[in-house]
Amino acid sequence: MQTTVIGLGKMGRALATALVERGHDTTVWNRTPGRSGDLAVTHAATAADAFAANELVILCLLDSESVVAVLDGVDVRDRTIVNLTTSTPAEAAKLSALVAERGGDYLDGGIMAIPSMIGTPAAVVLYSGSEQAFRRAEDVLAAFGDRRYLGAEPGLAALNDIAMLTGMYGMFGGFVHAAAMVRTEGVPVVEFTETLLIPWLRGLFPALVGMAAQIDSGDYTAKESDLSMQVANDGIAEVSRAQGVSTELSEPLFTLMRRRVEQGFGGDDFPSVIELLS
């Protein structure tokens, strides 16, 4: 399928490269000319020309504002628009309505990868919005990596994308706090991370599925490590202070855990804390 790529920033260029490498006939447009390097692509002179060139148009721009700016003044009738620009669920819903109003079909996407991962099995792209658009574009989208269609609600990809980043930052936060602690005694952080932290976390990962099941069922009854025990043994705050390490990262979490115990849920497992969030 002939394809247009709008936006040749770091990510857009990676997407265009993946298409070309898999033999897709690709037309590109970028606001600033000269960004395609030696890629074997056709250059459209204007955004309107790029949209006119092919039925499938993939956008990867800085933000939703730039997408709105590019869509202004181009004809999207009968076009399948796949927007891989990071957006919020509200922005995705707005863009979907805008494209539909003007006769196009809209699919939103969230890229869970950095540019060098594009085209490898490690890259995952989440999609939501028009299922028809997804089915039509699926073979082309396969060039980027694993593809997951999450449903017709346009904002679902953005919501899941941000939720995954939320999980990632939680892990990063725990990592830097742990590193700050061992660093106070001169322990090499790489050694600690490779030999102790990663094996420990890897062993714990499967437990997340059990925690997720508790959240889905609403039954948080603890089997092994209840909140009362975890709060009573909060060595993190005590040892951090003793080592001169800030507790700014861990304190908000333990505040929630203590509040849950005060509410009478000390016999619950950790995921019970979610009831204080939503």
3-state secondary structure of 222: coil
Say if residue 18 is exposed, middle or buried (CB neighbours under 10 Å; 0-12, 13-18, 19+): buried
Nearest distance from residue 32's CB to ligand NDP, in Å? 3
Handedness of CA 212, 215, 219, 220 (dihedral sign): positive
- For residue 10, state whether it binds ligand NDP (rule: CB under 6 A): yes
Considering beta carbons, is residue 123 or 178 the nearer one to ligand NDP?
123
CB under 6 A: which stretch of 20-28, 59-67, 169-177, 255-263 binds ligand NDP? 59-67
Whose tokens are 């869509």? That residue is 71
88 binds ligand NDP (CB under 6 A): no
Q: Tokens 């953005």 identify what position?
A: 158
How many residues at the interface with ligand NDP, by CB under 6 A? 22
Residues of this chain, 113-152, that bind ligand NDP according to CB under 6 A: 114-115
The stretch near ligand NDP (CB under 6 A) out of 26-34, 173-181, 199-207, 266-274 is 26-34
Query: Per CB under 6 A, which region of 10-18, 171-179, 210-218, 247-255 contacts ligand NDP?
Result: 10-18
Torsion of CA 251, 255, 257, 262, to 10 degrees: 160
Q: What part of residues 209-248 is at the interface with ligand NDP (CB under 6 A)?
A: none
Of 11, 20, 150, 158, which one interacts with ligand NDP (CB under 6 A)?
11
Identity of residue 45: A
How far apart (Å, rounded) are the C-alpha atoms in residues 218 and 190? 39
Verify binding: residue 43, ligand NDP, rule CB under 6 A: no
Instruction: Indicate the residue among 43 and 183 with the shorter CB distance to ligand NDP.
Output: 43
Q: What is the 3-state secondary structure (H, E, C) of 42-97?
A: EECCCHHHHHHHCCEEEECCCCHHHHHHHHCCCCCCCCEEEECCCCCHHHHHHHHH
Task: Return the number of other C-beta atoms located less than 10 Å from residue 169's C-beta.
Answer: 10
Decide if residue 32 touches ligand NDP (CB under 6 A): yes
Q: By beta-carbon distance, which residue lies closest to ligand NDP?
A: 9
Q: Which positions lie near ligand NDP, rule CB under 6 A?
A: 7-12, 30-32, 35, 60-63, 66, 69-70, 85-86, 111, 114-115
